[in-house]
Amino acid sequence: MGTWDGLLTGFAFALQPGVLVYCVLGVTLGTLIGVLPGIGAMAAISLLLPITYYIGAEAALIMLAGVYYGAQYGGAVSSILLRLPGTPQSAVTALDGYPLARSGRAGVALFTSMAASFAGSVLGIVVLVLLAGWLSRAAVAFGAADYAAMMVLGLVAASTIGSAHPAKGFAMIVLGMLLGCVGTDVNSGVQRFVIGRAELLDGINLVALAMGLFGVAEVIGNVRDPGRQAVAGRIALRTLIPTREDLRRMPLPVLRGGALGSFFGALPGTGSTLSSFLAYAMERRVARRPERFGTGAIEGIAGPEAANNSAAITAFVPTLTLGIPGDPIMALMLGALVIHGIQPGPMMLEARPEMFWGLVASFGIGNLLLLVLNLPLIGIWVSLLRIPFRWLYPAILVFVCLGVWSVRGLTFDILMVAGIGLVGYLLALARFNPALLLLGFVLGPLIETNLRRALLISRGDPMVFLERPISAFFVVAAAALLVHSLVQARGRRRAVGAAAPDDGAR
């Protein structure tokens, strides 16, 4: 079956009322749980899984997928409006989305995130249809050395996110990497920094970390802040509509972010959280005036949102083409298929074309639905800002707790949120950037595990990082970038004396 025939079959399948309704249900639910801080796609899908036993395999997959990419849309809403990431993926969106909202342009920020999400998804779908085969071969070709080198490049690229005060930025990344060491060490099985708690053996819960650092710390800092008590006056419709200047700033970041996200989404084990961070770093890198970032740059929303949405789509590439789930959520989806007696893998395209193409078509339909659903909602979301904060934050705290609890049902994780929240509040007081901590936390274990694995596989020969072409490329790129930023930093120090802008921590 050719691509064109396949797509036609797919749309014919996905547009059947009995299938469409699950798509609508999935994306609506996804948006909702995305908006709620704490509870994310992972928890929602595990909760929905038992229900899918009673519907067809295709409809079940389409619904669960809808929850997954729908959550990426919703996550940005609370990031932008409240600086509380709805999902870890959207934490980086708060960096510029929230300042924009504070300056009365919440509508523009939301519009940007929705439009970028949609465009990113479309890009992801195009990549999925045209390049699935190539991407799945690339995923197999990537070895431990390549992953390690690529992550180091990511680290170098991202380390300038809050660069007004480089030492503070690096400290947060290193602290994040150190926190990433907590738990069972993959390579040796040694249990590190677990203070005797089995709950920590699988590491610190990412959701608890994101919610504690951003959500709880933000709530504490604003409880008594009268400036945070509702936006005064009516919201003029004019402030909801982006200016021509805003629109002009969007396409390139969306393309870059979408391309980056498509690539990272397809690589097993990297995930969409990382892709949105790296897209942000990339935008900051290529920007002519990087100092605008952190104060409400449209590009800082458009890039990451396009990236995490395209990653959410291409994450299906290894799952569907190889039968290899790239992240825990994909493993869950795979489980849902296996329950229905379907073994995803290279044979699926031939054995069940309506499933593959139906899913692809549902991505298109679902994302269109999300855009149509969310654009009119922008006005409603923005009016949330008129509710005094004291009416909102108690509910936010309860939702955060339940969201974290829903991941694996452990009281311990809720108590962790309180502990991390305290640390997050102290870090915020001292004006450290929590986004970098989160980045280090995601990147650190990937670097450590893959670096040590690569050395183990090469029987201890460090030349492996230069002998493998993919890895060598990333090593050279990382070195070049490092030299470039050092030269640039020296130049800037000479040019500018002081007067560094706020580094976005507060």
Partner 1 sequence: MVKRDWPDIWGGLAIALLGLGAAGWAWITYDPGTLRRLGPGAFPIGLGLALAGLGLAIALPALKRAGAAVTPEPWAAACVLGAILVFGLGLRPLGLVPATALSVLVSTLPAPRPGWLWRAVLAVLVTGLTVLLFHVGLRMTLPLWPRT
Partner 2 sequence: MTRLTRRAALALAAACAAAPALAQDGWPSGPLHVYVGFPAGSSPDTLARIVTEPLAERLGQPIVVENRPGAGGVIGIQQMLVAAGDDLTFGTTINGPLTTAQRTMDDTGYDVDADIVPVTLIATSPLVLAVNAESDIADLQGFVDAAGAEPEALAYGSVGQGSGAHLTAELFAAEAGVSMLHIPFTSYAEVTTSIAGGEIDAGFMAPSAALPLVEGGQLRMLGITSAEPFAQVPDVPVMAGQAGLPEDFRAELWNGFIAPADTDPAVVERLNTEINEILADPAVQEQLLAIGWVAAPGTAAGMEERIAQDTAMWGGVLDRIEAAE
Binding residue (CB under 8 A) for partner 2 from 12, 186, 496, 500 = 186
The residue among 7 and 342 lying less far from partner 2, judged by its C-beta, is 342
Residue 420, class by beta-carbon neighbours within 10 Å (0-12 exposed, 13-18 middle, 19+ buried)? Answer: buried
Using the rule CB under 8 A, give the single segment among 98-106, 135-143, 223-231, 304-312 that binds partner 1: 223-231
The residue among 113 and 321 lying less far from partner 2, judged by its C-beta, is 321
* Residue 4 neighbours by CB under 8 Å, 6+ apart: none
Contact between 472 and partner 2 by CB under 8 A: the answer reads: no
Q: Give, in order, the Cα–Cα distances in Å from 223 to each of 119, 204, 330, 418, 434.
A: 37, 27, 38, 16, 19
Closest C-alpha among 79, 88, 169 to residue 432: 169
Contact between 180 and partner 2 by CB under 8 A: the answer reads: no
Using the rule CB under 8 A, give the single segment among 84-92, 255-263, 308-316, 450-458 that binds partner 2: 450-458
Tokens coding 369:
């639905």
Which of partner 1, partner 2, none binds 335 (CB below 5-8 Å, type-dependent)? Answer: partner 2
Give kind and range of the element (H or E) at residue 309: helix 299-314
Q: Minimum distance from CB of 189 to partner 1 (Å)? A: 8
Contact between 198 and partner 2 by CB under 8 A: the answer reads: yes
The string over 188-207, giving b where at least 16 C-beta atoms fall within 10 Å of a residue's C-beta and e elsewhere, is eeebeebeeeebbeebbbbb
The answer to whether 9 and 354 are in contact (CB under 8 A) is: yes
Binding residue (CB under 8 A) for partner 2 from 133, 251, 328, 419 = 328
Contact between 456 and partner 1 by CB under 8 A: the answer reads: yes
Contact between 241 and partner 2 by CB under 8 A: the answer reads: no
- Give the angle 148-150-156 at the CA atoms, nearest 5°: 105
Between CA 264 and CA 164 the distance in angstroms is 28
Which of partner 2, partner 1, none binds 142 (CB below 5-8 Å, type-dependent)? Answer: partner 2
Which of partner 2, partner 1, none binds 334 (CB below 5-8 Å, type-dependent)? Answer: partner 2
Q: Footprint of partner 1 on residues 18-47 (CB under 8 A)?
A: 33, 36, 39, 44, 47
Q: Minimum distance from CB of 165 to partner 1 (Å)? A: 8
Binding residue (CB under 8 A) for partner 2 from 12, 130, 201, 395 = 201
The residue among 116 and 397 lying less far from partner 1, judged by its C-beta, is 397
Closest C-alpha among 234, 243, 239, 232 to residue 107: 239
* Residue 353 neighbours by CB under 8 Å, 6+ apart: 1, 6, 9
Contact between 390 and partner 1 by CB under 8 A: the answer reads: yes
Binding site for partner 2 (CB under 8 A): 45-47, 49-50, 53, 139-144, 184, 186-189, 191, 194, 196, 198-199, 201-202, 268-269, 318, 322-326, 328, 331-336, 338-339, 341, 343-347, 408-410, 453, 456-457, 459
